[in-house]
Structure formats: C-alpha cells, structure tokens
Copies of this chain bind each other. A is one copy, B any other.
Amino acid sequence: MSEIFKSHLEKFIEINEEEFAGILPFFQIKKVRKKENLLVEGQICKSHYFVLKGCLRKFFINKKGIEQTTEFAIENWWITDNFAYERGLSTEFYIQAVENSEILIINRQSQEKLLIEYPKMERYFRFIYQRAYAASQLRIKYLYDLTKEEFYNHLCESQPEFVQRIPQYLVASFLGFTPEYLSEIRNKKRS
C-alpha cells in the first residue's frame, strides 16, 4: 500500500528509497469501514488524511439538520478541516468514509517535523495546497455562477466516473438538493 504513496510523491518530487523509508514512519496507515467517522463535529481537528484506496467525504450538519457534503477525497487526495487543523481548533465538520478505505494519517506536529527534517516535502505540500486552492477557487466560481442543476450537469461531464462511483444520495448532499430532486434531474437528462 505504501508504494501508492511513493508513486504519488514522485509525481511532485524526486525521492529515493532511503528518504521514503525515513518519511513513511511519520504516517499511520489505517483501514476504515464504510460510514466510519474519522472526525466528528466538536472534536479538535488533529489529523490530515490521505486516501490510498477508497473515498472519504467531509460534511457539516446545516441549520435544517441535513448533512451538507462540501468535499470528497478519492485516491491520492488529502482531506481535513484545514482551518481547524492548522490552528488546533475544534471543528464544525465530520469526515466519514464513503467506502471501505485505506488511508494515511499524519498529525500536525508530525507534519511540521516532517517538513523540517525533509525540506523537499515543503515542495510536495506546496504543490498539494496550490492544487487544492486552485480547485476550491473554481468551486467558489461555480457556487456563484451555476444553478444546482447546471453544476450537476457540469459534474457529469467533467467527472463522469466520480458521479458513477459515489452513491446518489451523497451526490445530492454535495449539490445541496434532495435525493428525490436529483432523481428528477437524472430522469430529465435521460429522456
């Protein structure tokens, strides 16, 4: 499993066997079962999660008491409540496994230590945050610019495998509509 992480790192930085052997102990490898929570609202957000296999999602409970999914992480993506993680604060989010998953976990102190001992990991995380930031800027534009139905159509075109893979009630939770309304839209698309 750790080979997946090494291949991923090599997309961004050069890393030899010895360095990788030094880096790996900073992480804990964990298997999580579908629907298992890694983080719960009100907890201090201590960890940063990397998906080796499977899928995680981040959501909060909105004022109507409904789960609003704001983010998914599939293979080779990181996920956490970054604001709370960096500051050691309690979170307003949940992070939950969408599928049985295998993940790497690092905590803030270890991540900081890793960056100091292996400065090339600064370059790696710079790329990771840069890419994540660019994606979230696009997302903000879509939230302003597209209706929910347009955003769904955009997702189907840009990420067809993702839309197929994720249970439809979670796609609905991400888009901010009811599963019933999503069914309606899907039927409209088919007809």
Contacts and interface: CB of A to CB of B under 8 A. Distances in A.
Count chain B CB atoms within 10 A of each CB in A63, A68, A137 and give the residue with the most. Answer: A137
Nearest to A83: B134
Contacts of A83: 134-135, 137-138
Interface stretch (A34-42, A118-126, A164-172, A180-188): A118-126
Contact of A129 (B68, B130, B144, B145): B130
B122 A126 contact: yes
A130 B62 contact: no
Count chain B CB atoms within 10 A of each CB in A60, A119, A123 and give the residue with the most. Answer: A123
Contacts of A139: 136, 140
Given A60-B141, A63-B145, A133-B133, 14 more contacts: A60-B145, A62-B145, A70-B140, A70-B141, A71-B137, A86-B131, A86-B134, A115-B123, A115-B126, A119-B123, A123-B126, A129-B129, A136-B136, A140-B143
Interface of A: 60, 62-63, 68, 70-71, 81-83, 86, 92, 115, 119, 122-123, 125-126, 129-141, 143-145, 176
A126 B131 CA distance: 11
Contacts of A125: 126, 130
A143 B92 CA distance: 15
A86 B130 contact: yes
A112 to B, nearest CB: 11
Contact of A68 (B122, B135, B145): B145
